[in-house]
Amino acid sequence: MRVLLVALAPSHLLCMVPLAWAARAAGHEVAVAGREPVAEAARRAGLCAFEVAEAGPEAAPASPNRGEVRAEPAFAGMAALLRRRGDGAVPGRSWVAGSHPWERRVVSVLDGYLAAARSWRTDLILCDPIEFTGLVVGGMLDVPVVVQRWGGPDSLSSEAISRAGTVLGDLCVEAGIGALPAPALTVDPCPPSLRSPAAGPASPMRFVPYNGAGALPAWSRGRDARRRVCVSFGLFGTQAAVHGDEFVRGGGLAGRYRTLAAALARRPDVETVFSVPQEVRGELGELPGPVRVAPWIPLDAALRAGDLVIHHGGIGTAMTACVRGAVQLLMPPPHPVFLDCATSLAARGVGRTLDETEQEDAESLTRTVHEMLDSAAEEEQARELATEIAEQPSPAEVIADVLGCL
């Protein structure tokens, strides 16, 4: 069988890679279609990729240097949304005003996705839940589409597909498919105790961490008995730095790192590692205390049970920590996906979350970090959640159900 993966952004693709590997290991052909950054992430994961260029006046410019971090259209839209929010309050779901931006985005890549799917002689499409073009292409080619959710406590992706059916209605009529097709199957790597009640029904799958390809640094392989504290604001933080935006109200990433370094400077009982984007390193200055600064942390290899991860509420970072049984301090920006993740993990008892005001308050942040390092309250829950995740069916088991849609 020939499977085509489609994803809106590189971070969305990463959680799909283990299922793609499972399909390859089962003897099936797998390729990825997406914009240049998605195609590059696919190649780094050992997958063939079709690089789809956007068409039209809003198309993203090609990157002059492969591998260079550049502003992503999806993140630019998110940054604009946060700026429009003013004080960062998000009283409810924030949909893009009107239907046109979603329609324009699908139209801009539809021909490229269709060409890739036809060229690949696609039997099945595996789709990011907000890459609606995959559903449209599946309908046009009469090919089943399986949606894989991101893996964390998320209801936004379910809401998005429902909303997209209305937003893209006219486009689907013009494409000759009448309406946006429903997925033949939805796979959810989120463990049951974290799954949002608002998320629709789905087939369970174990979350298998994949944080990208790269050489493992020596420090990640050997360690002493100290707990490790990893601080990472993920791809969102990198893109915030690229755009020059404040990460949250009142401060950029450099300020967050400096505050956290000061909070951890008096803790010789922990090993502190910061994942700092190149765009921010020059702003850090000299940090207090022994802090290891790295451009990238292979979290799946660097963590063990009882470690502390301080992050923004990104699903990939959060679920990697959950798999390893690490506890989490969440500092989410005011976006529904990050807020959902942070709130759910705190409710599950595996971490704590700081609102924007607390994130700006160095004393509050320091106190919370020390409380979490001195208490075992979250550790037991984190270990239980790791066990629950390990009990879910692996991608190797789930791939049979996925291919059963053919």
pLDDT at site 277: 78
Helix (H) / strand (E) element for 118: namely helix 100-120
User: Residue 229: pLDDT above 80?
Assistant: yes
User: Residue 71: pLDDT above 50?
Assistant: no
Q: In this predicted structure, which of 126-135, 139-148, 366-375 has the lowest mean pLDDT?
A: 366-375
CATH 3.40.50.2000, the chain: domain bounds:
2-210+392-403, 218-390
> Given 3.40.50.2000, 3.40.190.100, 3.50.50.60, 3.30.365.10, which CATH number is that of 218-390?
3.40.50.2000
Question: Band of the pLDDT at 199, cuts 50, 70, 90?
Answer: confident
Higher pLDDT, 269 or 296: 269
Cα gap 368→264, rounded to integer Å: 11
- The CATH number that domain 2-210+392-403 falls under is 3.40.50.2000
Q: What is the mean pLDDT of residues 130-144?
A: 96
- Please give the distance of CA 130 from its chain centroid, rounded to a whole number: 12
Global confidence as pTM:
0.86
Strand order in the sheet with 291-294: 291-294, 270-275, 227-232, 308-311, 327-330, 351-353
Higher pLDDT, 347 or 197: 347
Question: Band of the pLDDT at 246, cuts 50, 70, 90?
Answer: low
Cα gap 141→132, rounded to integer Å: 15
Give buried/exposed letters for 358-386 (b at 16+ CB in 10 A, else e).
Answer: ebbbeeebbebbeebbeeeebbebbbebb
pLDDT at site 62: 45
* Helix extents (H) in 206-252: 218-221, 234-243
User: Residue 364: pLDDT above 80?
Assistant: yes
Please state, for a pLDDT cut of 70, what percent of the chain lies above it: 85
Higher pLDDT, 99 or 138: 138
- From the list 305, 384, 340, 368, the residue with the least C-alpha distance to 151 is 340
User: Residue 204: pLDDT above 70?
Assistant: yes
Q: Is 190 exposed, middle or buried (0-12, 13-18, 19+ CB in 10 A)?
A: buried
User: Residue 299: pLDDT above 80?
Assistant: yes
- From the list 251, 281, 279, 270, the residue with the least C-alpha distance to 310 is 270
pLDDT at site 38: 96
Please state, for a pLDDT cut of 90, what percent of the chain lies above it: 50
pLDDT at site 56: 61
Cα gap 76→245, rounded to integer Å: 10
Q: In this predicted structure, which of 110-114, 195-199, 208-212 has the lowest mean pLDDT?
A: 195-199
Question: Band of the pLDDT at 238, cuts 50, 70, 90?
Answer: low
Higher pLDDT, 27 or 295: 27
Question: Band of the pLDDT at 68, cuts 50, 70, 90?
Answer: very low
Question: Band of the pLDDT at 100, cuts 50, 70, 90?
Answer: low
User: Residue 31: pLDDT above 90?
Assistant: yes
Q: In this predicted structure, which of 24-33, 93-102, 279-288, 349-358 has the lowest mean pLDDT?
A: 93-102
- From the list 159, 191, 150, the residue with the least C-alpha distance to 350 is 191
